[in-house]
Structure 1
Amino acid sequence: MSMLIEDFMGRILLDLPDDALRRLEHLKERRKLPRAALLREAVEQYLDRQNQDVVQNALGLWGDNAEDGLEYERKLREEW
């Protein structure tokens, strides 16, 4: 027996300032997409960015550090 799996979408009610609605309307006209599609895209991008921020924050001070961790540890031990 095969089952069909459907993607279900929930609905939300969203209040936006008039300026944001105007800007969204301009974007809708420029990109020729429905407003709902633009909002879905914006939410997906926001959520992806939040996930990336979590990963970067998890790396702490080592995130942008090019120094080798083992070498750093050796330098610290030399101070003892």
Structure 2
Amino acid sequence: MAKPIPCVTCKKIVAPTEHDFPFCSERCKLIDLGKWCSGEYTISTPIYDPEVLDEVARAREHAGLLMQEDELHQSRWKN
């Protein structure tokens, strides 16, 4: 079984069975999320894994196709 670790935000000891693990509370989870959203936390190493890059490219292409279809449907309803 995993052993307790310090909360990522406040360093209070948290058991792996806690609801908010690896955080000690909802408050600490939100503080951490805020740091990611504000840019205080970043991923310092770019992703060079070809499989991941291919997956991202496919997702972007799919999103672009969905946007084009949506725009086409919207223009048909306007006319």
Where on the TM-score scale, by shorter chain, does this alignment land: which range? 0.3 to 0.5
Structure with greater helix share of residues: 1
Whichever structure has more strand as a proportion of its residues is: 2
Which has the bigger relative contact order, CA under 8 A and spacing at least 6?
2
TM-score by length of 2: 0.36
**TM-score normalised to structure 1 length:** 0.36
